[in-house]
Amino acid sequence: MSIPSINAAAGALASNAGAALGSVATLLQLGTASAQDIGATGAQVTTCQTAIRAVRADLDALAVEDAQLWPDGAVAIGLWRWERSLRYGLVRLSGRLTRASAIVAEIATGQGTTLHTVRAGQSLQAIAAIYLGGWAEWPRIAAANGLKAGPVAVGTVLIIPSKV
């Protein structure tokens, strides 16, 4: 496999992974989903995880070290940076997909999913203290629901992740 084809495969993988992670976020925001939707989202995540392994294998098979012996130092450094940044990106993406897979499994089994409807005066910190044992756990609730720091509208239904 050549550098341009690996780069193209990585670009397609990033696009597909973005769609898969978006599907997981949609499942979380809906609060309820059909078994078919959950299965399709799980399949998307699994396909992306398989694609990551394939890109890693292609990258390992590529003689990057030989290509880095290029007479032009700027080209050699550029290849080294490309290879390192691609590997770093694959590791990060793999971690996000692993977490997404766990979320899909929790939604499919119904385990670890507690719902909470926000009432007047409640903040993510207060909700985290109630369900997760401490106000500092609020980022987990925000991440599970695709929220950022700040007030949450009254009546919003939040998915509360399981206690760690």
CATH number, position 144: 3.10.350
Q: Answer yes or no: do 100 and 51 share one domain.
A: yes
Residues 137 and 156 in one domain: yes
pLDDT band at 126 (very low <50, low <70, confident <90, very high): very high
Mean pLDDT of 55-68: 77
Please report the pLDDT score of residue 128 as a whole number: 92
Same domain, 88 and 118: no
pLDDT at 80 over 70: yes
What letter represents residue 69's amino acid? L
Range of the domain at 142: 114-160
Q: In which band, very low, low, confident or very high, does the pLDDT at 53 lie, cut at 50, 70 and 90?
A: very high
Token pair 């500092």 is at which residue? 136
Q: What is the mean pLDDT of residues 136-145?
A: 87
* C-alpha closest to that of 111 among 145, 41, 159, 162: 162
- Other beta carbons within 10 angstroms of residue 8's beta carbon come to 11
List of residues 6+ apart from 144 with CB closer than 8 A = 28, 103, 158, 159, 160, 161
What is the domain count for the chain?
Answer: 2
Would you say residue 98 has pLDDT above 70? yes
The pLDDT of residue 63 is above 80: no
Q: How far is CA 76 from CA 3, 59, 61, 87, 155, in A?
A: 13, 16, 18, 17, 56
Quick one: 61 and 126 in the same domain? no
Q: At 59, is the pLDDT very low, low, confident or very high (cuts 50, 70, 90)?
A: confident
User: Which pLDDT tens digit goes with each residue over 24-37?
Assistant: 888 777 766 778 88
